[in-house]
Amino acid sequence: MRARIIGTGYSLPAFRADNDYLATLVDTSDEWISERTGIRARHLAREETTLSMSADAARMALAKADFKAEDVELLIVATITGDMDTPSTACQVQKEIGAKNALAFDINAACSGFLYALHVAEAFIESGTYRNALLIGAETLSKVVDWTDRGTCVLFGDGAGAALVTASESGGLLAQSLGSSGEKWDVLFCEGRPNENPLREKGQKCGYLKMDGQEVFKFAVRTVPQCIEEALEKAGLKPEEIDLFILHQANKRIIQAVAKRLGMAEEEFPMNMDECGNTSAASLPILLAQLDERGRLRRGDRIVLSGFGAGLTWGACVLEW
């Protein structure tokens, strides 16, 4: 049995912050941000939470597949910005949508989180342990971004995406290639909140997201084509046999470099970072759901999904829609 996506959904905060709005907060410009990243706007949470967006995206995916929440057997949320340290976002979503029979837990793999969740779901589905899984990628990065650091705060956005996966005899996931390398964890990290217990010194700094942008760029353009090629080889396919390459939406220049390395046209790599920014674990399922909503995904299409991010972590999979 293969794992096949049968329903998708997404949720974005109501507030759309364009680059001009960010230029009122830090010394930046629409020209600098859009030329270097392809980002023109992002949605930022005012009222919304990681939980509320996760639940909205999940309900949309379930409705699209005409699937009852109580029939969900596995519920995984990929996030680095849950609203609480415990319980998991997945357990909160479980209550919110009524998925009372599911096993629920979170995965922390930053921008690769959705692919890691798909990897776990596939293993459970192939082994016959579960017949379906509801996978969510959700982030409220606006709460961990340093809004005085123009080098990072302009890159990120908030949102959630979801995909319902079921066991299928045809189509679905054909091959995957994932990896992690803790060696370079310090090129992109976010420290935890300070602990004010009586045993520790007071006045520790609050942790914000920190990044060595050029190191991340080099890592991405080297590793992403490699893992896509590995996944394609396992599937016995060539890049030209793929209909769409859906990549983590970090940066337009990274995607252009990957397309070039694979010898493919940029048009095969749909993008939404112009309107959503980088939403980390949410970026792949949001884009997938938007393409599904617009009728861009046809049954039988061969699709590559690929993510990369903090950890360092990365992954690619080949699937038949």
Is 111 considered catalytic here? yes
Total chain residues near ligand ACO (CB under 6 A): 22
270 binds ligand ACO (CB under 6 A): no
Residue 105 has a CB neighbour count (10 Å cut-off) of 17
Query: Which residues in the 289-318 window bind ligand ACO by CB under 6 A?
Result: 308-309
**Which of 91, 111, 153, 276 is an active site residue?**
111
The Cα–Cα gap between 19 and 34 comes to 8
214 binds ligand ACO (CB under 6 A): yes
- Nearest-CA neighbor of 81 among 246, 208, 212? 208
Residue 175 has a CB neighbour count (10 Å cut-off) of 17
Helix (H) or strand (E) holding 173: strand 172-180
144 binds ligand ACO (CB under 6 A): no
Q: Which stretch in 59-67, 165-173, 213-221, 255-263 sits in contact with ligand ACO by CB under 6 A?
A: 213-221
Exposed, middle or buried: residue 118 (CB in 10 Å: 0-12, 13-18, 19+)?
buried
Among 94, 251, 272, 290, binds ligand ACO (CB under 6 A): 251
- Nearest-CA neighbor of 285 among 73, 57, 132? 57
Among 37, 142, 166, 306, binds ligand ACO (CB under 6 A): 37
Partners of 302 in the β-ladder: 320
Phi, psi of 261 (to 5 degrees): -60, -35
32 binds ligand ACO (CB under 6 A): yes
In the bound state with ligand ACO, the residue whose beta carbon lies nearer, of 41 and 154, is: 154
Among 3, 65, 69, 155, binds ligand ACO (CB under 6 A): 155
- Of the CA atoms within 13 Å of residue 179, those in its CB half-sphere come to 13
Q: Which stretch in 2-10, 41-49, 193-201, 216-224 sits in contact with ligand ACO by CB under 6 A?
A: 216-224
Q: Which stretch in 26-34, 55-63, 85-93, 226-234 sits in contact with ligand ACO by CB under 6 A?
A: 26-34
Q: Radius of gyration (Cα) for the chain, nearest Å?
A: 19
222 binds ligand ACO (CB under 6 A): no
Helix (H) or strand (E) holding 55: helix 50-65
The Cα–Cα gap between 127 and 287 comes to 29
In the complex, residue closest to ligand ACO by CB: 213
In the bound state with ligand ACO, the residue whose beta carbon lies nearer, of 176 and 313, is: 313
In the bound state with ligand ACO, the residue whose beta carbon lies nearer, of 33 and 162, is: 33
**Which of 119, 132, 248, 272 is an active site residue?**
248
Residues found in the chain: 321
Going by the DSSP 8-state scheme, the letter that residue 229 receives in this structure is H
Q: Which residues bind ligand ACO (CB under 6 A)?
A: 28, 32-33, 36-37, 111, 150-151, 154-155, 188, 211, 213-214, 216-217, 220, 250-251, 278, 308-309
The set of catalytic residues is: 111, 248, 278
